[in-house]
Structure formats: C-alpha cells, structure tokens
A and B are shown apart, each in its own frame.
Chain A
C-alpha cells in the first residue's frame, strides 16, 4: 500500500478545506510543493493524482477534474462517490433547503434549450412540495409539507446566497442562477441517471451547451468543445444530422486563425508521438467516418485542452 507523502496530503487537504479550485490555483499548489510544473511534467502530475485516487477509493472519494460549463475553465475537486448514511450528515443545509436546491438543479438540468440557468425569479418560485422523499410514510408526508410550505421567500433568497457562496450554484453575468462548480463535479452520475443529454464531443453532461439548430436533431455540444471542433474540421457539420453548424458562433476568420495556429503548433512544438499519430490517423479516416467515433473523441478531448488555451488566448 502506497503511503502518501505530505505533498499529496497538501493537495488533498487544500481541496477539502477550500473546496473546488481552478486549474491554475491547483497547479500552483502542485508546483509549490513539488517544484515541478504540471504542464511540463504532466506524467508526474498525473502520477500524483493516480496515487491519490488509489488511496481515496478506499473511502469512496475521488479527486476529479471537470470543466466549468460557464467559463470553460478546468476545476479540480475532491468528491464523494457513494451516497450513504455518513454522507447524508455531511451537510449544513436543512431538509427544506436541500429540497429547494434539488428543485433548482432539476429546473436547470431539464431546460430543453440547454441554457444552463434559470432566472432569479424562477428560482425563488421553485415549489418544494415536488421534492417529497419517495419513501415517506403517511405520517411523514403530513410533516414534510409543513416545513416545505413554510419555507418563505426570504429563506429561499438566503439559501440562494449560501448555495452560491458554497459554489453549489453560481450567478451568471446576466443575473441568472446556474450550476456551481461543486454541482458539476459532484453530480456527474445524477446527470446520467436523469437522462441529461451529453455533449457530443466530451461526453460530459451538456447542461449549458449549444444545440444543433436542426429541429429534429438532438445533438448538443459545449461552446468550448464546439470551438475546437470547428477549428479542426473543414466540413463544419453536425455529426447527428449532417446539417452545417451555424458559423455565427465562431466566425470564419477566427476558425481559420485557429486552424493555422494548430498547424504551427504541430510543426514547431514537440508534441507527443501519440498526437502526431492521431492527426495522421484522423486525416485518413476523415473521408469515411464522422467526427463522433469514440477513439477520436477520447484522444481529442485530451489534446484539445492545450488547444483551448492557445486559441482562446489568441482570440482574446
């Protein structure tokens, strides 16, 4: 059994005490304790995370990364992977508050337009009675609604603030309520169980995503995934229905610039052998298959991370 060092412990404790951290902050902690840059020493960084997760699995925790769907930035967090009696204790929120929160997540996740948010007004009008526990006995059913019915507007408002502060929810720039990074990290399995459609590119829940404009087509892709997709492909069509993606999202100039960027990157930078192999393989497969084959999805999501930063920086 590997015993983790104080360096591993620092990373774990930082995420437990401070909550989810943005990639930059998390990597700076890594650099501070190990003296290595995660970007340059990726293998070592990944090894640390693997070692940590091997030990954390004993207690059903996981150190996970996910992308904040509102700003495209990667975040890291320690999440609980199993719901049991102990985890039910791990909250400072009351039963009505949790019911309120659940109502909000459902409303956001089930939005067919995949906007990823609801208005503040709608949030305050969420009805708690719809969240009654399914195993409630008849006497419990009498009790629960009383606490739920008496949950006032001001309590809801206060709860919203607390949930935003604790990063379960977020406030978007337009003043709407969206899912916070904690929810995005924690609720991966909930999204799957509740049939929230996934992004075609990265396979994570597409809570805030662009929908294929073709009415019959159910394909949805995160904005940041779409940007990469369009910058890589010459034929910018939807993999589900073959109709072209509206280029209004990414202008032609930007797409061309990003494509040129990538070619430069591949020629001048020392990319891994895997990446250059993939590029060859992909151009061979281009004519035959469409983009959404599993293999290229898996490899592209790994490769796109660097591209996002470069092209995004360029576009700024």
Chain B
C-alpha cells in the first residue's frame, strides 16, 4: 500500500488530485457494476477517467492499482482482471492494431468474503435464480467437454423446463436473453462455425468460467447433481457423464 502511494507521488501532482482520481475510478467501478449487473468493465473506460485531464504516462496504471488496493481494504472487493484472449466476433468495439495489450483487459468486482459468510448475509435473493441458471448452463457446457452446439445446449435446457422461445418466463423473462446475459458477463463465448451443413453456433466457456474459483464450484455443483441423480433419466446425459466423469477423478 505504501508502494502505491509512493508510486503516485512521483507524477508531480498533489495528493488531493491523486486521491480524487482514485476515488473517481472506484466510484465508476461501483456504479457501473450496478448498472450493467456485473458485466465486465473495460480498462479503457477507467484509464479515460485519468487521461481526460492528465497526460502523465503510467499515471492511469498507478491510479488503477491504488483503486484496486482500496477496493479490497475498504469494501472487501477484488478487482478481478479478465484478459480478452480472443477477438470475439460479437465484440462491440474493434481495437486498432496499435492499441497495447493492456487496454484489452476488463474487470469485474468479486467479493473476497468467505463463501459461507457471503451466502448467508450478502447474497441478494433476487439474483439467486440467475446464479442457479449460470451454474446449470456451465455444468452442461463443461460436461460436454467445454464446447457445445447451440441446439444441444437448448435441448438440455428444455429438459430443465426452459424453452428457447419462451419470452415470458416468470423468473427470467426471456430465456434467450438470460443466455445472452451469460455471454455478456463473459461466462460463455459464442462463435459461428461454418461446416458442411452451413453455419452452426457454438458456445464454449469464456474467461470467467475458466477462472479457477468458478470452475471449482461448477465441478462441485456437478458432483452434487450426480448424487441426486437429477439428470439420470436422460440416456444422452448418461453417455456424457460416463465419457467425462473421469476428468473429475483424474
């Protein structure tokens, strides 16, 4: 923490100004996270807060680091970095070649509280259905080997009572939109693949699903489900389960 404070002082701007910048970055992260329901926030949006008024090189990076420290010490949030590891076909911005790697990063705020404390006191009840949906979808994709064609995914969701065409689901509203939200939140990545029969849409696991913490919990979820034999009635499920079950034991 002292290091960051020292790092900031080298830029020749007053402590009040650096404090103000750090505060603005933190506030931006908190308000934007609320507004976009946990979808990742682009690093370039953060750097812009600094570069709008200041031209010192690396100032933005130092400010973001200090903000990260404060978010952890004051709020108990981890500013998790996600690397945009591939050029998504549905990316909203096309990054020019000259843009450095650093700017393709994005961030999400994740609570650092122990999971039991988080579940007991912090979880907002209305988000539980979406969390359950996230786990179910990630479990399906993971069991399919990490990549699944759109048709097959919806086949499994239909077995859980969620139909693709349902726009008025009492919990999710539009089921299609709920799935799309997982893409926006970078749990899933979708990609059109051209094949012999035309284009097929594939879903595979994106950064947040590949993060160690999340994939561990998905595996836990899968093993709990296996115990309850919820999916055992589907012969297709049995096949997948047998084929993929060894990855957990290995």
28 residue pairs A–B, Cβ–Cβ below 8 Å: A3-B73, A4-B74, A6-B113, A9-B76, A9-B111, A10-B117, A10-B122, A12-B76, A13-B76, A13-B111, A13-B118, A14-B121, A17-B124, A18-B122, A18-B124, A55-B73, A59-B26, A59-B27, A60-B27, A86-B24, A86-B28, A87-B27, A89-B35, A90-B31, A90-B32, A90-B35, A91-B35, A92-B35
Selected from A1, A19, A60, the residue in CB contact (under 8 A) with B23 is A60
Is B34 an interface position by the 8 A CB rule? yes
B19 beta carbon closer than 8 Å to chain A? yes
A297 interfacial contact with B, CB 8 Å: no
Assuming A84-B27, A91-B35, what are 9 further A-B pairs, CB within 8 angstroms?
A4-B74, A9-B112, A18-B125, A58-B70, A59-B26, A85-B24, A89-B35, A90-B30, A90-B35
Q: Does A164 contact B (CB under 8 A)?
A: no
Chain B residues touching A, range: 20 to 34
Which single member of B74, B111, B118, B124 contacts A59 (CB below 8 Å)?
B74
8 Å CB contact of A9 from B1, B19, B113, B120: B113
Q: Which of B68-83 contact A (CB under 8 A)?
A: 70, 73-77
CB-defined contacts of B26 to chain A, threshold 8 Å: 59
| Binary contact track A73-109/B, C-beta < 8 Å → 1, others 0 | 0000000000011110111100000000000000000
A60 to B35, CA, bound (A): 18
Q: How far is the CA of A56 from the CA of B30 in the complex (A)?
A: 13
Q: Does B12 contact A (CB under 8 A)?
A: no
B113, A13: Cβ atoms under 8 Å?
yes
How many A residues have CB within 8 A of the partner chain?
Answer: 30
Chain B residues within 8 Å of A241, by CB: none
Residues of chain A with a CB closer than 8 A to B35's CB: 89-92
Given contacts A4-B74, A89-B31, A91-B35, contact A14 B122 (CB under 8 A): yes
- Whether B27 and A12, one on each chain, are in contact in the complex, defined by CB atoms closer than 8 angstroms, is no
CA distance A6 to B76 in the complex (A): 7
| Residues 95-120 of B at the A interface (beta carbon under 8 Å) | 111-114, 117-118, 120
Contacts A6-B117, A17-B123, A18-B122 given; does A87 touch B31 at CB 8 Å:
yes
Query: B residues 1-41 with Cβ under 8 Å of A?
Result: 1, 19, 23-24, 26-28, 30-32, 34-35
In contact, A33 and B27 (Cβ under 8 angstroms): no
- 5 A-B pairs with the lowest CB-CB distances in the bound complex, closest first: A9-B76, A90-B31, A86-B27, A55-B74, A86-B28
User: What chain B residues lie within 8 Å of A303 (beta carbons)?
Assistant: none
- A250 near B: Cβ within 8 Å? no
Of all chain A residues, the one with the shortest Cβ separation from B24 is: A86
Q: Which residue on B lies nearest to A8, using beta carbons? A: B76
Q: Residue on A with the closest CB to B120?
A: A32
Judged by a CB distance under 8 angstroms, whether A229 is at the interface is no
Q: Is the CB–CB distance between A10 and B113 below 8 Å?
A: yes
- Bound-state Cα–Cα, A1 to B114, Å: 24
Asked if A29 CB lies within 8 Å of chain B CBs, one says: yes
Most chain B CB neighbours (cut-off 10 Å) among A6, A29, A89: A89
Residues of A within 8 A of B125 (CB): 18
Residues on the B chain within 8 Å of A17, using CB: 122-124
